């Protein structure tokens, strides 16, 4: 029997027949199915043109012809798994939807419920999210009625957990309650988010510019802010904007 096995192993293999693979439509790299999250839904909120999606100025990046869909992860369905359900059970009556993406959980909350959610996260003994590590903004011009998002990152030292809370508001009414009374560390984070995106944090003790000069027009990280074309001054010297100092002819 061993001899037969040796003879079989010594037989040269013939050329392998190529197997034609079915065509697969490629998903955006940040879509859930591209990240090993089968069955997860996505929500399209528009398309991005160029490298940065900015409009109103000449393209200087070399990617002016790039067009890519802007997709957001869709709503997750229970059971979420592990401690995700423990937190969700406590917040269930206060949240609009839950998104799980890249192994992280985000609770979408209406701005009218934000203070109540934050207080519960901080004070409930089974939650104990004592730490607000950051507040940031995102601008989705195609997300009708929720063009501006305020994003909060909470951490629990007690339970070694991290979650995200997100609030969407319209461009026409960019008001969100300030969390400084509950989490004083939100002070400078909210100022930066106002400075860069124009989100108004009602109740902040001193909502003012923190990066740009006080008289700076607009909010530079919004998608509708001109890309380039703004002269920058350094100690009296002026550096021309990119579209004036470069030539591609």
Q: Position of tokens 């109540």?
A: 116
β-strand 148-156 against 161-169: which pairing, if any?
antiparallel
Quickly list DSSP for 187-204. Answer: HHHHHHHHHHH--EEET-
Task: Select from 185, 178, 171 the least CA-distant residue to 111.
Answer: 178
Tell me the pLDDT of the chain (249 aa) as tens digits. Answer: 555 555 555 544 444 444 443 333 344 444 444 444 544 577 788 788 777 766 665 666 677 788 888 888 889 998 999 999 999 999 999 999 999 998 999 999 999 999 999 999 999 999 999 999 999 999 998 888 999 999 999 999 999 999 999 999 999 999 999 999 999 999 999 999 999 999 999 999 999 999 988 888 899 999 888 766 666 666 666 767 766 766 555
Categorise residue 230: left if φ over 0, alpha if ψ from -120 to 50, beta otherwise. Answer: beta
Domain ranges of the chain: 74-245
Q: Residue 10: CA atoms inside 13 Å, Cβ hemisphere, count?
A: 6
Distance CA 62, CA 84 (A): 43
- Under CATH, what is the fold of the domain 74-245? Beta Polymerase; domain 2 (3.30.460)
């Amino acid at each position: 029997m061993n001899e037969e096995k040796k003879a079989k192993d010594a037989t040269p293999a013939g050329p392998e027949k190529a197997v034609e693979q079915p065509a697969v439509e490629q998903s955006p790299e940040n879509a859930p199915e591209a990240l090993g999250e089968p069955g997860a839904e996505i929500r399209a909120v528009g398309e991005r043109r160029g490298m940065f999606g900015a409009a109103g100025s000449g393209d200087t990046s070399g990617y002016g012809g790039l067009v890519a869909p802007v997709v957001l992860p869709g709503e997750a369905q229970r059971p979420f798994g592990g401690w995700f359900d423990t937190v969700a059970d406590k917040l269930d009556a206060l949240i609009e939807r839950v998104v799980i993406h890249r192994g992280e959980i985000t609770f979408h909350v209406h701005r009218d419920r934000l203070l109540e959610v934050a207080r519960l996260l901080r004070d409930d003994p089974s939650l104990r999210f004592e730490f607000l590590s950051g507040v940031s903004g995102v601008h989705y011009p195609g997300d009708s009625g929720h063009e501006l998002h305020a994003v909060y990152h909470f951490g629990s030292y007690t339970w070694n957990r991290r979650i995200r809370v997100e609030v969407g508001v319209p461009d026409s009414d960019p008001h969100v309650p300030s969390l400084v009374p509950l989490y004083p560390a939100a002070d400078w984070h909210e100022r930066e988010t106002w400075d860069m995106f124009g989100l108004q944090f009602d109740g902040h003790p001193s909502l003012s510019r923190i990066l740009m000069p006080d008289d700076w027009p607009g909010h530079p990280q919004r998608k509708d802010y001109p890309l380039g074309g703004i002269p920058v001054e350094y100690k009296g010297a002026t550096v021309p904007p990119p579209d004036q100092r470069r030539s591609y002819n």
